[in-house]
Structure 1
């Protein structure tokens, strides 16, 4: 592949620093992970946003979380069409192979993907309406959420849509037969979280009050 190039120097330097310190100090633990395989307790579905550092937020070690990231932390509804479904494949593997105990949908403030959906649905992003737009077609998953927030005051609508990205993903998870079975038999729990990048707050969805409350 002629287009591949060597890593930028800063990444090479950081790798060597990690290998000489973090890895070297925990060599036995890494060897154990390599030989015994992974047994993560939780599956985290988070946004691709570089500002959301999943393992740092929870102080997680290697091997503790199975993590999947995509635009706006969305889970599509279950379909059996045989097409490529990266997120659906991750869900299947986490539940049926790794048998995780928890699935966490982690949304966040100032989400660019959610902003794109908001702009598209309000008629201000015609480029996302194009059939050829991968982002636009992915954000179609969130269209029902836009309809739900139309009665919210305009200045609060974007924030409300970020929360809807979490709720719709939780709803869509339950459309997967193996997820529903695991939830209904008590083998799996689902959780919806939203974090504020600027102040570090973490909110969780409370089904009793149908709102997001401080963790």
Structure 2
């Protein structure tokens, strides 16, 4: 297993250098965590929030999934991994900010825009197809702007719209909306461009992204 072996090699380097250097920090974290920021990011291996933000252990409570999506509030008996993590971060850890970070060349957003998993329902790809249903309204809006063959601009627009979908869905959770209204919680949208390494932040007053 050469891939896993590389991870073990990295672990051994960490034990040799990283662990001793931050031993006091790890001892503190063993007593509990108190991150001020929750980050909702994509599972894509190229976009690690800890790397992008050069963050230390304990600084961020991170949830990663396909396309960095947040589902709407649905208080039913189904399993809701993202919702459970969100609830824990907001109501128990009392984070003060939630950052949704999309990224360039996102496979989930591409699949949503091209509908490449539409025929997969009930078989292999079913869970992906159902998950990216969350992007259907955004996809329709993007397709209305781009006629004919889809170029990079269309896919990037889809990636940016995906961030806005997750922010809108975050606000359907009553304990998120209440804390945002009272000023104890702030929601932010961000986009990391893999090709040039630039982070863009969303201005929700006009819906545009600009370099941080």
**Fold match, TM over 0.5?**
yes
Q: Report the number of matched residues.
A: 205
Corresponding residue of 2:192: 195
- Equivalent runs, 1:57-136 vs 2, <5 Å: 57-120=52-115, 124-128=116-120, 130-132=121-123, 133-136=126-129
User: Which of 115, 138, 146 pairs up with 2:131?
Assistant: 138
- Give the CA deviation at 1:17: 1.2
Corresponding residue of 2:8: 12
The answer to whether the 8 A contact 1:77-1:172 is kept is yes
The answer to whether the 8 A contact 2:117-2:129 is kept is no
Instruction: Decide which moves more: 137-146 or 10-19.
Output: 10-19
- Give the CA deviation at 1:211: 1.1
Deviations 1:178-212 (A, max 9, x none): 00011001010000001100101111111222211
The answer to whether the 8 A contact 2:104-2:192 is kept is yes
Secondary structure of the structure 2 residue equivalent to 1:181 = helix
The 2-side partners of 1:211 and 1:144 are apart by 18
Secondary structure of the structure 1 residue equivalent to 2:35 = coil
Query: Does residue 151 of structure 1 match 2:150?
Result: no
Instruction: Decide which moves more: 23-32 or 152-161.
Output: 152-161
User: Which of 28, 36, 39 pairs up with 1:32?
Assistant: 28
Query: Does residue 184 of structure 1 match 2:181?
Result: yes
Query: Does residue 171 of structure 1 match 2:147?
Result: no
- Give the CA deviation at 1:119: 1.5
List alignment gaps of at least 5 residues for structure 2: none
- Give the CA deviation at 1:213: 1.4
List alignment gaps of at least 5 residues for structure 1: none
- Give the CA deviation at 1:78: 0.3
Q: How much is the aligned-residue C-alpha RMSD, in angstroms?
A: 1.5
